Copies of this chain bind each other. A is one copy, B any other.
Amino acid sequence: MMSYTLGKGEYENWIVSETTFSPDALAKVESIMYLGNGYLGLRSATEEPYLKERRNFLVSGTFNKFDEFEVTELPNLADVTRLDIRIDGDRFSLELGGTDNYVRQLNLKTAELIRSFDWTTKQGKKLRFNFRRFVSLDNLHLIGMKLEVESLSDSVEVSFESGINAQMSNTGSQHFHEGEKRIYDKRFVELIQTTTESKVDIALNTVHKIVINGKELTEDPDMNIERRNVSLNYNIHLEKGDKLEMEKLTTVYTSRDKAFDTSDYQLQTLRDKALADLRASYNKGYEQLFKESKQAWLDNVWNKYKFEVNSEDPYDQLAIRFALYHLTAMTPAHDNRMGIGAKALSGEGYKGHSFWDTEVFILPFFIYANPEVAKSLLKYRYFGLQGARKKAKENGYKGAMYPWEAAWPTDGEVTPVWGAVDIVTGKQTKIWSGFIEQHITADIANAVNQYYSITGDEAFMDDYGYEMIFDTAIFWASRLEWNEETQEYHINNVIGPDEYKEHVNNNAFTNYMAHFNLQLAMKYYKKLQEEKQALFSKLNNKLNLEAVNKEWQEKSEKLYLPEPRSLDKVIPQDDSYLSLKELDLSKYKAQDKVGGLFKEYNLEQVNQMQITKQADVVILLYLMEQQFTHDIKKANFDYYEPKTTHDSSLSLSTHAIIANDLEENEMAYSLFKKATEIDLGPVMHSSDEGVHAASIGGIWQVAVLGFAGIRVLDGELHINPRLPKHWIDMQFTFYWRGQALSVNITQENLDIVAEDKKPVSFISFGKKYQFDNQINVHLS
């Protein structure tokens, strides 16, 4: 029912579409076609309502907590998209009447959502509908909608009720006081609400413009204010051939916006600005506003990343555009106090919280393709030190212990505690990640270092980065546990990336990453001591570095790092994994949906088997690639891949990159395809709660870090392309030490243009190259 081949000409491989209406696929399509600009995200719920819809409208950073038993989450704002349309008094719905020529499409290039069809009433009257919608990338506060209805066969009465509906909630949890509802000039509809706990003010304003056969409607609508709802009702008579155009424009402003988050903030200023913006937008109209947004997408996204893939399967090109579209829509690039949610801004799933997903799966894209945004995302983690220090303290540790799930930077840990049903006990399963999934602290330190290695942004390190690396190392030093018996430091009772193994000791990934974090701290300690005495002195005063550096040295030397077994080179995922019983997973891997295992086993039982939810040892091989030989990588990939259910969307891209490194090209390509299908594939309910942000970052990673083979190791740029056999060529632009490099890779050649004509050196397949304008490398 999804189609990716509808785009023609300028829009070839730009169109994600649905060609038959399916009420059971509503939630999936709402997610994968959602509109966003980093400031706000709007699920693409249809204008007319359906039972299975999940109508969400989220604004970055507006976190609120319903009560003391829930964790903070992005609240679902009042809805502005729903139109209750009636034709001759009967409710319009695609489940009723007859529908022809149905297409719903997201144009990735223009970021416009379009839905068109002909619809026949039960009396046999024919109407043509065309719905359009965009979320502006030019004015981040603006949502544009347009509806065209043409009566094809008869005269009809068309009515619609539309306004601002605040009867929404987050699956039942209400985050807003009712607030104030107002209608100005019988036209401009306003709702002012405040979140219940965080006290964020939200100003929503909406207006309609109705034109019939080119002439603006002058009659006033019926006005309606009721509990948590304010709406206008329009009744329009159409003769055969008449065409109704309705534009609905909405603006949203909040007191979390940087412009308003000031000490002299006044609600009235916010209200005035919000309404003034809507009035100005109303004067421009949909077409002009859309044009401005489209231009912003060209300037800020498509002409910036210049990503082209020429594949035997044109879908690959579309999949990468899909990734770039969503990476843009999900990222609050405008505000460094905000992070990326694990489900982007596309749904209630994971409550808008940021996980390691950002640093490990999404940040690499921004570091290479848009370093300014990467810096903003890392600053979010810098501000998050406050929450991380709070968490460390609460847990009896020192330094910065990053929360497994993060919301507002000062919040600290916000992982919920209870999850899905335990089929054995009939109770909810306890979620341990917020307590013991601790590798995120090292993942963030690693990300800081990656950013620095690739951008060379010394100023960032001085102001933020060193402090983050030091304070995370301080955490790890306090976290390590001395084992008398082995005379080593251990890390006991953790969850590694594989969340199907709870309360394990010495998860390899966690131990290696912690070790790396300590090493980084020691390295930069030395550097600052030698090269930046003033900064050293400042941070030493703050963090008592001289004392902790000794502890780092002593402890990191004695930190146990699980070695590959001599027998088969397999690195034990943790102390007990390799002694657990095995289970043939082929049955569950063949299933269409994740979690099928849990219809037969509870988590306690899965804990006792060699079943891995997602890349665990394998992601270690990827992130710490220099520490492991090709043979070790191969042995571990071969051992763990069949034991990995890929129940997490974070898994496939890593396996694809490692497979590619291992020259398992067909497997790598196949895993790449599977990774793209997490959201784009036919599985009906995979994306109901939102798109998979990390998986989308992973699509880019497989292409650039995998197939194009770009890595930075020991401060050197490596480019070892291994394109899939099905790819003819690929082009894209990335940043290396502040300069944009545009690459063109074919099966035989690597061409690079240094856009600023500044000297570049890099290594390709072991050979070092230097150039300052452009270069061609022949790939044998």
* Chain A residues in the interface with B (C-beta under 8 A): 23-24, 49-51, 66-67, 69-70, 91, 93, 95-96, 166-169, 171-174, 177-178, 181-186, 196, 222-230, 420-421, 423, 426-428, 599
Contact = CB atoms under 8 A, between A and B. Distances in A.
Nearest to A84: B51
Contact of A167 (B96, B171, B224): B171
B177 A69 contact: yes
B174 A166 contact: no
> Which 10 residue pairs across A and B have the least CB separation, nearest first?
A183-B426, A167-B172, A225-B421, A174-B174, A172-B228, A171-B227, A223-B421, A225-B428, A69-B177, A67-B177
A471 B490 CA distance: 76
Contact of A186 (B224, B226, B426): B426
Given A70-B178, A168-B172, A183-B421, 9 more contacts: A23-B91, A50-B51, A69-B177, A93-B95, A172-B228, A173-B174, A184-B426, A222-B599, A225-B420
A154 B734 CA distance: 61
29 contacts: A23-B91, A24-B91, A49-B51, A70-B178, A93-B95, A95-B95, A96-B96, A167-B172, A168-B172, A169-B169, A169-B172, A171-B226, A171-B228, A171-B229, A172-B178, A173-B174, A173-B227, A173-B228, A182-B426, A182-B427, A183-B421, A184-B426, A185-B426, A186-B426, A223-B421, A223-B426, A224-B421, A225-B421, A230-B421
Count the copies.
2
Contacts of A229: 171
A66 B228 CA distance: 13
A776 to B, nearest CB: 56
B166 A172 contact: yes
A773 B599 CA distance: 73
A202 B314 CA distance: 57
A544 B67 CA distance: 47
Nearest to A227: B171
A182 B421 CA distance: 8
Contacts of A166: 172
A178 B96 contact: no
Most B-side CB within 10 Å, residue of A225, A427, A428: A225
Contacts of A599: 222
A172 B172 contact: no
Interface centre among A66, A224, A420, A421 (most CB of B within 10 A): A421
Nearest to A181: B428
Contacts of A177: 67, 69
Contacts of A50: 51
A167 B184 CA distance: 34
A223 B169 contact: no
Contacts of A172: 166-169, 174, 178, 227-228
A734 to B, nearest CB: 40
Contact of A226 (B168, B185, B420): B420
Nearest to A165: B172
A599 to B, nearest CB: 7
Contact of A173 (B24, B178, B428): B178
Nearest to A196: B67
A223 B51 contact: no
Nearest to A91: B23
A650 to B, nearest CB: 22
A230 B184 CA distance: 44
A166 to B, nearest CB: 6
Contacts of A174: 66, 169, 172-174
Contacts of A196: 67
Contacts of A423: 223
A635 B428 CA distance: 71
Contacts of A224: 420-421
Contacts of A168: 172
Contacts of A169: 167, 169, 172, 174
